[in-house]
Amino acid sequence: MRVKICGITQPQQATAIASLGATALGFICVPTSPRYVTATQIRAVVTQIPDNIDKIGVFANAHIQEIQQIVQDGGLTGVQLHGDESPEFCYQIRQNLSKVEILKALRIRSLDHLEQAAIYVQYVDTLLLDAYHPQQLGGTGQTLDWAMLEKFHPSIPWLLAGGLTPANILEALSHVKPDGIDLSSGVEIQPGNKDLNKVAELFQKLRSRE
């Protein structure tokens, strides 16, 4: 299972998290976020971690040119669109960044929101389902209604996000069968400062399922 730890800000924590078993690291490229990092900071982390770890930048309603520049300067392998980006915008990003994974995050509040996911599957590589919050785009600690997702089987890979922690991950995965999971606040001491003990506990729980 793919495991993405998002909101990375510190190179030493990134290398530790990668060694514990993460397959992807997420970097918040939204200036208003408490987990925000610059392309220079991302590059400092990227140079410290193995090539087989995905490096994903998280953007929200950014301009295509800005996204392209940060991907290039930061050494990113993926772009996660976490704002109100349209399918057409996703298509434009795909055309401009053909070798980069495109993820579209959807904040799910109801079955109607879930049905919107089908619109994006032909434009992106991966979907990410997050909990809805009226003010915050992510990292809220709020969980999704997992029962609502039990029959969610899109034609492309998808990641489950939204309030996941080492304490609830097994319960979440008993309801839904995502291709991967995404955690941020659930393995933090404070925004941007990861708790490596919690990260280790997460991978212990995941290994217990095998």
What are the catalytic residues? 6, 130
* pLDDT for residue 12 is more than 90: yes
* 19-54 pLDDT per residue, tens: 999 999 999 999 999 999 999 999 999 999 999 999
Q: Which residues contact 31 (CB under 8 A, 6 or more apart)?
A: none
Handedness of CA 84, 88, 94, 97 (dihedral sign): negative
* 59-90 pLDDT per residue, tens: 999 999 999 999 999 999 999 999 999 999 99
Give the pLDDT of residue 140: 54
Mean pLDDT for the stretch of residues 115-137: 80
Give the pLDDT of residue 141: 59
Give me the phi and psi of 209, to 5 degrees please. Answer: -80, -20
Domain carrying residue 140: 2-208
* pLDDT for residue 137 is more than 80: no
Domain tally for the chain? 1
Q: Which residues contact 23 (CB under 8 A, 6 or more apart)?
A: 2, 3, 4, 52, 53, 54, 180
| Beta carbons within 10 angstroms of residue 38's beta carbon | 14
Domain CATH code at residue 141: 3.20.20.70
